[in-house]
Amino acid sequence: MSAPPGLAKGPTMQPLSDLLVLDFSTLLPGPLASLFLAEAGARIIRIERPEGEDMRRFPPRLGETSAPFAALNRGKTSLAIDLKAPDAVERLRHLIEKADILIEQFRPGVMARLGFGFEAMRAVNPRLIYCSISGYGQEGPRAFEAGHDINYQAIGGLLGQSLKRGEPAPLPPTLVADIAGGAMPAVLNILLALRERDRSGQGCHLDIAMTDAMPTFAWYGLAQGQASGRYPQGGEGLLTGGSPRYGLYATADGWFLAVGALEEKFWAIFSAAIGLDEALRDDRRQEEATRAAVAALVGAQPAEHWRGLLEPLDCCCTVVRTLEEALADPQLTARGLLDRQAEEPGGRRIVSTPLPLAPVFRDAAPALRKVPAVGDETL
């Protein structure tokens, strides 16, 4: 039986296979953005210092490079050049003339001082899409401030959504600003710019500020505050600790159960399964008492008990997986997320960073691609 048209096998040619990208970025946001483009077929040339970019030295080592660098840079090449050299712009001119996209991640003004600013590059190639990724953007009172992911989450109001005053604060495990505020908006806006270039014939300058996306993740709190006149404080929001139906509960063996039983049908199944007193199931009447009772019941049994009891009931309750356990989950295998491998210059292989590309595009990418050695691309 053939697959429906919407589920047909993807194209053998990838959608970005005719594009050249010059990636001047380092560390995570820019290289992850160019990995998305590479997996969709674009040719990526990393522009690196003669000694290579900083991520190449991040532990742990994987053969001749580092595992984090390998996980982000399969299918790319590397051109080593000192951007401060007087002839750097001239040496790269032939690439700039034919490039479609340039990605950079310096602080505002650095590329211009080096001779590679947007206006200078547009003079060489008017069709160039020039993407700048920074913490706070190219303009504004914080534009020149240093920062890392945790700072952007803090300034942008995202961290404060789930922190309660006076209580211990867990460190967020996800680099939300780098990935969802830097890399993914860069890819989205690059694709929009390509669509606009199809119509106008002109490139543009994309100003991607990682902090700009932080209020996006606080969308519910923004809506609540504007409608009620009072913004939810840390831990008060429906999805940030304010409801016993949505949260993490410790199990008897020191692990955690993730409860997301927001809808009444799921909450009813969950409450019955754990044996919650009927008088406490209307959590709107006595929220804290309900939360305390749920915590006591969940805390009386180990994680495996709840895995076996609750997960088959399909009530949005899941035992938290470690990363190692998550990689063994059959869903990841079925979706092919771990199929793409990166081979470092010495021959060792690692699973490349899984990307949420639609299978119709992801499946057209080669399963194995090499990670560039410093300077494997020649001028």
- What tokens appear for 290 in the block? 């309900």
Q: Decide if pLDDT at 288 tops 90.
A: yes
- For 98-109, what is each residue's pLDDT tens digit? 999 999 999 999
Q: What is the mean pLDDT of residues 202-218?
A: 96
- Return the half-sphere exposure (C-beta side, CA atoms, 13 A cut-off) of residue 44: 30
Q: Decide if pLDDT at 357 tops 80.
A: yes
So what's the pLDDT on residue 166? 81
Q: Decide if pLDDT at 5 tops 80.
A: no
Confidence at 4, pLDDT banded by 50, 70, 90:
very low
Q: Decide if pLDDT at 303 tops 70.
A: yes
DSSP 136-167: S-SSSTTTT----HHHHHHHTTSGGGTPPTTS
Confidence at 165, pLDDT banded by 50, 70, 90:
confident
Mean pLDDT score across all residues of the chain: 93
Whole-Å CA distances, 212 to 87, 207, 218: 36, 10, 11
Confidence at 315, pLDDT banded by 50, 70, 90:
very high
Q: What is the mean pLDDT of residues 155-170?
A: 84
In this structure, the dihedral spanned by the alpha carbons of residues 247, 250, 251 and 257, taken in order and rounded to 10 degrees, is 20
So what's the pLDDT on residue 169? 81
Q: Decide if pLDDT at 252 tops 50.
A: yes
So what's the pLDDT on residue 167? 81
Q: What is the mean pLDDT of residues 233-258?
A: 92
Share of the chain above pLDDT 90, in %: 83
| 277: number of Cβ within 10 Å | 11
Higher confidence at residue 4 or residue 26? 26
What is this structure's pTM?
A: 0.92
Distance, in Å, from the CA atom of 30 to the CA atom of 24, rounded to the nearest integer, reads 8
So what's the pLDDT on residue 118? 98
Q: Decide if pLDDT at 2 tops 60.
A: no
So what's the pLDDT on residue 7? 43
Q: Decide if pLDDT at 334 tops 50.
A: yes
Distance, in Å, from the CA atom of 41 to the CA atom of 18, rounded to the nearest integer, reads 8
So what's the pLDDT on residue 362? 84
Residues noted as catalytic: 148, 178
